[in-house]
Amino acid sequence: MTSYRLTTPGRRIVRGRRLNFTFDGKPHEGLHGDTIASALMAGGRTLMGRSFKYHRPRGPVTAGHEEPNALVGTGTGSRFEPNQRATTTRLHEGLRATSQNRWPTLDHDIGAINSRLSRFLPAGFYYKTFTWPAAFWEKVYEPIIRRSAGLGRPPEGPDADRYEHFYAHCDLAVVGGGVAGIAAALKAAREGKRVLLLEQDTLWGGRSITDGTMMEGEAPADWTAARIAELEGMENVTLRLNLQGSGVYDHGYLTAYEWVAEDRPGADAPRHRLWRIRAGHIITATGAIERPLPFAGNDIPGVMLASAVRDYVSDYAVTPGRRVIIVTNNDDAYRTALALLDAGVTVPLVVDARHEAAGELARQVRDRGVEIATASGITAEGGKEVTGVRVVDIAGNGSGGRLVRCDAIAMSGGWSPVPHLWSHCGGKLLWDDAQGFFYPDPDRPPLGADGMGMVSAVGAAAGDLTLSRAGLRQDSKGSLTEQPTRPVWVMPEGAGPDLRAKMFLDYQNDVKVTDVQLAAREGFVSVEHAKRYTTLGMATDQGKLSNINGLAVLSAQVGNSIPQVGTTTFRPPYVPISMGSIAGAARGDIFQPLRRTPLHDWHEARGTRWEPVGHWRRPFCYPRAGEDPHAAVMREVKNARQTLGLLDASTLGKIVVKGPDAGRFLDLLYTNMMSTLKVGRCRYGLMCSENGFLMDDGVVARLTEDTFLCHTTSGGADRIHAHMEEWLQTEWWDMQVYVANITEQWAQIAVVGPNARKVLEKLGGMDLSRDALPFMAWAEGEIAGLPARVFRISFSGELSYEIAVSANHGKALWDKLLSAGEEFGVMPYGTEALHVLRAEKGFIMIGDESDGTVIPQDLGLGWAISKRKDDYIGKRAQERVHMTDPKRWKLVGLQTLDGSVLPDGAYAVAEGTNENGQRNTQGRVTSTYHSPTLGHGIAMGLVLNGPDRMGEVLDFPGTDSTVHKARICDPVFYDKEGAKQDV
Amino acid sequence: MSDLQSALQGARFDGYVSVFEAQPAGMIQLRADLAEDAVAHAVHRATGATIPQPLGLSTGDRGEALWMAPDELLLRVLTDAIPELLADVQDDLRDHHHLALDVSAMRTEIRVEGAAVREVLAKVTPVDMETLKPGTVRRTRLAQVAAAIWLSNDETAHVLCFRSVATYVFDVLSVSARKGGEVGAF
Amino acid sequence: MLILHCPYCGVDADETELSPGGEAHLTRHGPGSDDTDFESYLFMRENPKGPQFERWRHAMGCGKWFHAARHTVTMQVFGTYPAQTQRPPQEILDRISAAQPGWRWRDLGDEGQRA
């Protein structure tokens, strides 16, 4: 294979360090410091990918992050990553890269037929074509489209790498370590500010190093090295390479993306790190990006931005061709001609759209014997590679023109500042008509918390392309004078449809000049509409190269100026970032917090089936060997009813409320009267929201005259604690009440069943007889030598003690109960058995019987609503018409005629249909279980006029077209008198 | 003592800093008007410490007092002393509106030690760890849960979290402390 | 991602330490209030495009509720203040008037600029 590696130095590569890699399975060689693109190009390959829609052959256009074409998959298996820019992905030994969107191979791609059909695939093609029949979408069109269009395939399996976040704080964050950014950072650092300077590249200095312009009388490399050295010596400065400013958000929040071990797969280090920066001020020194020129064939591999050609020559000592033609509308591209000439590459011709090429750089090129064709444009010739150009009159229609042979084209349509970070949070732009670009309007910056601008742009990013405003770019002879740019949006300007249909604006999404013009003719004149209709700028590169050219074409078509048409919205991230970096360390076991009770390890060792309750994990049931979960639940229920069950109730919320006004406060919080509760006693209470809806329930125990302990639902402790604090702090701040959420101080174990007292008496300690501790009382003392609070409350209907001990003693108490309970056949039971036990008793469960639209009155809990109180939270709302409507569905029991279990959530149907043609409904199932105690299915539900319809049979259609018949009954299925819990 | 079981049972992870469960301490949550002399007296009697400044920590010969909120302190003393000291505090403040509770088992202290403690914590909390002064107590977010963080010196960080998420916090800190993750920004 | 100064503990708190609580300075209408007042209390909100008074809780910090005066479009924060008040501090109202002449929010606003 011919080598396109030059003998000149390349500042990024290390000649002696060869690296082996593969591209589409074939072995290749590169040098340390190479990107995939530079290494492939050194081997003579510019074809690196196929385009999204037409499968056109494509090669790199750029040498940076803005690359639209040269996207490859890297890695394999759990380290595969699609759509990686070959122009920025550094080589490492053994790297495996694969091309995308081609079949069977990159060089012979069947899908390329789409390109021949492109005249039948115009803008909005999908919208227009596949409108009917609707059923064809799923089975025919979509699979075809999905297979033939698109980029890389998503990786399969879990990501093998690790990622993390990092929070950083500074007075000033400078994004971009080119000369403008370095100068801005240094100025602030010398003033004593805390400065963070970040640069996406592996080297400092930005373009100035390559372009070689003198900085304040120094060579740019020297200038840069000296200032970076000074910054490195300052305590108040943090310098980071390989860190890319990604997004700017409110109040100086800046995200940045760091490549940590990207080029060391398998290393024990994070692949990427997402920085979450809080900056007092942000300076964007993000430079500028060169624009392509829209000429026919501008997407053929070998057509590249002039600056990129320069970069490949000076950074990697690689040339895209042996005969390179330059086409430009500005002076800057002449630097590429000079760089190529210096490297020994032939430059047969420079094509300049302007009427004269009179600048200093053009003179230097002309002096070296290169022909300059002015007032000219080109059309490119070639297929999978460039073979030549036709030089045409810039103002003409593109016909005729002489053919000049070449194997690469360096194009420059002028430069555009990179305004992305400036714009993310609302910074506005101005249009520079002479240079043809948008730039940040310093009078309309994004605003910070203090109402002042929080972002500034400097250097090329501010539109100061020559850095003359920054006062930086001077050589001993003063600034180099450059001849003005001539914006060119279509080349040649009079090109007909055939040529315009080959002028690509958005390479990655295959949007051509004709597509944007068609969109405008069809009425998509708003830039946001035209963008979505044509997909201009919607690819993974987000239109970094295409936006300005596309806007210009659109504005010409609709007859408005470019600033009138405006830009589309710039959104973060600047360049796609890995999903892993967004998740950071939050994956696997620490994807989200998992709350563990003091008995968690015991449950786990027992092979429990878990049920998530909020972030808690509670045992659902404890299956024995060979037992399915249903059988386990039935066994656990029966055991608790017949002898002795243990429940880990530690997740139950526990909130202490204390103070002279505690009783008054709880009277407002609960629907019940709590202030009359006697010390030593417990009372079941309901809490409603100010909307009147039931939000939580639980047992309140009065600890002392001014102290109450409020139990909440398992998931509810934090919410109810916050609810209490909210009312105390923001409404009743005159009340003398302190509350504390002490849920986790205690391990709580429910000892349930006819033998509950016996096992506790066996453990010894406090008197738990019926007389000493009656039902709904509590006492403090010792159980088995452990300090404990014992509550005689029952959520099962059985004799039940809830024992609370210090969380540190929870495991000890559990162990003692298990061993003491052995003679009684003790078994732990889980949340599902708890549910069955409570449902047999007709006890409601927050979240089953309540759903945020249910009031206590619906649930037959009127007895828990004090009539004697003037006020409680939700009282006023419960007086509203809708709340007192007799037609509200009310709680009843439901029993199927055949003893089966009703489907959960099933609706009872009524006569007739509603306006949508659906069956009318008259009730729904809220809880449904098989009761092992009764031997048949039991359910609770909310039914229209339910309590008045005892014995009536309702139809509950299932999802499987069967209809379940169930009879309305009392919701208390077991021990209606409550005799068993009060023994 | 065999009946006692801490949340992490002495777990430890050694990365580029060390992460381990600290010896359990006795803890009293005290809510009261911190400006009252009686409160200062009670705190001093229990810990030997003065009322800390907002976001502060004060140390006495029997324990330390952490500022948790404008009307809340966390007193940290020897575990065995809790019953007596709690009774003392309650007695001292019997005529003052207050709330004093034994919360020793409710929270777990995880210690992070090493030269890079600041940057390891900066991976998981929005607090400015680079400038946090030793002795400043920040109640904040640590990954996805609430925690209190303070430094006793430049190489020792204390993280106080709720018991139920102690394993989560320990795991999060251990992942952050893994070798190869050195940031080197501070 | 806002940063709000907690007036209780003095921390400039990251938004992820806070939990939002909706509009501030609502007058509670309980039993005995008429339907209009109750509806207004429970459901009607200013929802302005401009200065807004809102409630926040330093949930992961000191746990205290406070109020913030914030511009809903520019995110400018005119000040934060304790929740135990019926009316924003005058200095915050003045600051809003300086930044947003003619602003209005319920019965508050820039009197000097009102037509």
pLDDT in tens, A254-270: 999 999 999 898 899 99
Choose, out of B57, B68, B141, the residue to mutate when testing the contact with C (most C CBs < 10 Å): B141
Tokens of A91: 């080589």
- Give the residue among B142, B105, C58 at the shortest CA–CA distance from A654: B105
Going A589 to A590 to A595 to A597, the CA torsion angle's sign is positive
CB contact under 8 Å between C30 and A875, yes or no, is yes
Select from B53, B79, B102 the last residue of a domain. Answer: B102
- Share the mean pLDDT of chain B: 97
Answer yes or no: do B154 and B90 share one domain. no
Choose, out of B106, B125, B176, the residue to mutate when testing the contact with A (most A CBs < 10 Å): B106
Residue A788's pLDDT is 98
Provide the strand spans (E) within A190-302.
195-198, 237-240, 243-249, 253-259, 272-284, 288-290
The position carrying tokens 């306006």 is: A915
**Region label for A978, one of left (φ > 0), alpha (ψ between -120 and 50) or beta (otherwise):** left
CB contact under 8 Å between C11 and B70, yes or no, is no
The ipTM estimated for the assembled molecules is 0.97
Contacts of C61 in chain B (CB under 8 A): 138-140
Answer yes or no: do B92 and B119 share one domain. no
Answer yes or no: do B112 and B171 share one domain. yes
The position carrying tokens 């510019």 is: A46
Residue B183 lies in a domain: no
Strand partners for A18: A31
Nearest to A253 among C1, C30, C63 (CB): C1
Answer yes or no: do B113 and B128 share one domain. yes
Tokens of B83: 């019953």
Angle, CA A400 vertex, CA A399 and CA A401 arms, to 5°: 115
pTM, whole model, 2 decimals?
0.95
Answer yes or no: do A703 and A768 share one domain. no
Strand B156-162 versus strand A455-457 pairing type: unpaired
Q: What is the pLDDT of residues C40-60, one digit of tens each?
A: 999 999 999 999 999 999 999
Tokens of A609: 């089936």
Answer yes or no: do B97 and B114 share one domain. no
Nearest to A740 among B101, B124, B145 (CB): B101
Contacts of C76 in chain A (CB under 8 A): 447-451
Residues 23-82 in C contacting B (C-alpha not used; CB under 8 Å): 59-64
Contacts of C64 in chain A (CB under 8 A): 729
Residue A89's pLDDT is 96
Q: What is the pLDDT of residues A918-976, one digit of tens each?
A: 999 999 999 999 999 999 999 999 999 999 999 999 999 999 889 999 999 999 999 99
Q: How far, in Å, CA of A654 to CA of A775, rounded?
A: 20
Residue B44 lies in a domain: yes
The position carrying tokens 């009954």 is: A969
Answer yes or no: do B31 and B86 share one domain. yes
Provide the strand spans (E) within A854-932.
889-896, 907-913, 919-931
Q: How far, in Å, CA of A101 to CA of A491, rounded?
A: 29
Q: How far, in Å, CA of A635 to CA of C51, rounded?
A: 61
Tokens of C51: 């200065």
Whichever domain contains A831, its CATH number is: 3.30.1360.120
CB contact under 8 Å between B5 and A811, yes or no, is yes
Cβ count near B97 (within 10 Å): 17
Going A592 to A597 to A600 to A603, the CA torsion angle's sign is negative
Nearest to A740 among B99, B163, B179 (CB): B99
Q: How far, in Å, CA of A304 to CA of A386, rounded?
A: 11
Q: CA of B132: which chain C residue's CA is closest?
A: C11
Contacts of B138 in chain C (CB under 8 A): 11, 61
Q: CA of B27: which chain A residue's CA is closest?
A: A745
Domain that holds residue A711: 653-744
Q: How far, in Å, CA of C77 to CA of C54, rounded?
A: 11
Residue A134's pLDDT is 65
Residue B2 lies in a domain: no
Answer yes or no: do B118 and B165 share one domain. yes
Select from A815, A838, A861 the last residue of a domain. Answer: A838
pLDDT grade for A212, boundaries at 50, 70 and 90: confident
Return the axis-axis angle of helices A810-821 and A756-763, rounded to nearest 10°. Answer: 110
Task: List chains adjacent to chain A, taking adjacency as at least 3 C-beta pairs closer than 8 Å.
Answer: B, C
Instruction: Provide the number of CB pairs (under 8 Å) joining chain A to chain C.
Output: 68
Tokens of A685: 């209470």
Residue A478's pLDDT is 43
Whether B4 has its CB under 8 Å from any CB of chain A: the answer is yes
Q: What is the pLDDT of residues B118-159, one digit of tens each?
A: 999 999 999 999 999 999 999 999 999 999 999 999 999 999
**Region label for A833, one of left (φ > 0), alpha (ψ between -120 and 50) or beta (otherwise):** alpha
Whether B95 has its CB under 8 Å from any CB of chain A: the answer is no
Lowest mean pLDDT, pick from A134-138, A149-153, A514-518? A134-138
Q: What is the pLDDT of residues B72-82, one digit of tens each?
A: 999 999 999 99
CB contact under 8 Å between A730 and C65, yes or no, is yes
Answer yes or no: do B130 and B156 share one domain. yes
Contacts of B101 in chain A (CB under 8 A): 656, 740, 742, 745
Q: How far, in Å, CA of C107 to CA of A529, rounded?
A: 41
- Give the residue among A440, A361, A486, A412 at the shortest CA–CA distance from A180: A440
CB contact under 8 Å between A585 and B175, yes or no, is yes
Q: How far, in Å, CA of A176 to CA of A455, rounded?
A: 13
The answer to whether the CB of A354 falls within 8 A of the CB of A488 is no
Nearest to C3 among A278, A690, A733 (CB): A278
Domain that holds residue B123: 12-23+106-176
Residue A107's pLDDT is 85
Strands laid side by side in the A694-704 sheet = A682-688, A694-704, A707-712, A653-658, A738-741
Q: What is the pLDDT of residues A228-257, one digit of tens each?
A: 999 999 999 999 999 999 999 999 999 999
Residue A314 has pLDDT above 90, yes or no: yes
Residue B1 has pLDDT above 50, yes or no: no
Residues 40-69 in A contacting B (C-alpha not used; CB under 8 Å): none
Contacts of A240 in chain B (CB under 8 A): 185
CA distances from A523 to A130, A287, A406 (A): 20, 35, 41
Residue B6 lies in a domain: no
Residue A961's pLDDT is 86
Whether A809 has its CB under 8 Å from any CB of chain B: the answer is yes
Contacts of B128 in chain A (CB under 8 A): 167, 169, 278
Residue A229's pLDDT is 98
The H-assigned helical ranges of A822-908 are: 831-840, 881-884
CB contact under 8 Å between C76 and A691, yes or no, is no
Residue A746's pLDDT is 98
Residue A476's pLDDT is 42
In chain C, where the domains are located:
3-113
Angle, CA A190 vertex, CA A187 and CA A194 arms, to 5°: 90
pLDDT grade for A473, boundaries at 50, 70 and 90: low
Contacts of A449 in chain C (CB under 8 A): 2-3, 75-77
Residue A428 lies in a domain: yes
H/E/C letters for each residue in chain B? CCCCCCCCCCCEEECCCEEEECCCCEEEEEECCCCCHHHHHHHHHHHCCCCCCCCCEEECCCEEEEEEECCEEEEEECHHHHHHHHHHHHHHCCCCCCEEEECCCCEEEEEEECCCHHHHHHCCCCCCCCCCCCCCCEEEEECCEEEEEEEEECCEEEEEEEHHHHHHHHHHHHHHCCCCCCCCCC
Q: How far, in Å, CA of A361 to CA of A358, rounded?
A: 8
Residue A480's pLDDT is 60
CB contact under 8 Å between B70 and C14, yes or no, is no
Contacts of C30 in chain A (CB under 8 A): 871, 875-876
DSSP, res A500: H
- Give the residue among B24, B125, B173, C62 at the shortest CA–CA distance from A598: B24
- At position B95, the amino acid (one-letter code) is D
Residue A402 burial class via C-beta count within 10 angstroms: exposed 0-12, middle 13-18, buried 19 and up: exposed
Answer yes or no: do B30 and B90 share one domain. yes
Residue A156's pLDDT is 86
Answer yes or no: do B110 and B65 share one domain. no
Residue A130 lies in a domain: no
Residue A576 lies in a domain: no
Residue C115 has pLDDT above 50, yes or no: no
Select from B80, B102, B124 the last residue of a domain. Answer: B102
Select from B102, B127, B149 the last residue of a domain. Answer: B102
Going A122 to A128 to A133 to A135, the CA torsion angle's sign is positive
Residue C35's pLDDT is 96
Whether A128 has its CB under 8 Å from any CB of chain C: the answer is no
pLDDT grade for A704, boundaries at 50, 70 and 90: very high
Cβ count near B16 (within 10 Å): 16
Residue A822 burial class via C-beta count within 10 angstroms: exposed 0-12, middle 13-18, buried 19 and up: exposed
Answer yes or no: do B93 and B130 share one domain. no
Answer yes or no: do B79 and B115 share one domain. no
Residue B152 lies in a domain: yes
Choose, out of B16, B29, B99, the residue to mutate when testing the contact with A (most A CBs < 10 Å): B99
Whether B181 has its CB under 8 Å from any CB of chain A: the answer is yes
- CATH of region C3-113, choose from 3.30.2270.10, 3.40.50.300, 3.40.50.720, 3.60.150.10: 3.30.2270.10
Which phi and psi angles does B179 have, rounded to 5°?
-60, 150
Residues 612-651 in A contacting B (C-alpha not used; CB under 8 Å): 615-616
Residue B2 has pLDDT above 60, yes or no: yes
Min CA distance, C114 vs chain A (Å)?
Answer: 22
pLDDT grade for A55, boundaries at 50, 70 and 90: confident
The answer to whether the CB of A589 falls within 8 A of the CB of B171 is yes
Residue B184 lies in a domain: no
Residue A842 has pLDDT above 50, yes or no: yes
Residue B4 lies in a domain: no
Residue A16 lies in a domain: no
DSSP, res A491: B
Average pLDDT for residues A155-174, to the nearest whole number?
Answer: 95
- Residues of chain B whose beta carbon is less than 8 angstroms from a beta carbon of chain C are 54-55, 68-70, 72, 126, 138-141, 146
Min CA distance, B1 vs chain C (Å)?
Answer: 34
- Give the residue among B170, B155, B176, B19 at the shortest CA–CA distance from A273: B176
Residue C46 burial class via C-beta count within 10 angstroms: exposed 0-12, middle 13-18, buried 19 and up: middle
In chain A, how many domains are there? Answer: 4
CA distances from A223 to A205, A231, A236, A471, B57 (A): 9, 13, 21, 14, 48
Contacts of A236 in chain B (CB under 8 A): none
Average pLDDT for residues A529-538, to the nearest whole number?
Answer: 92
Residue A472's pLDDT is 72
Answer yes or no: do A795 and A938 share one domain. no
Residue A149 has pLDDT above 90, yes or no: no
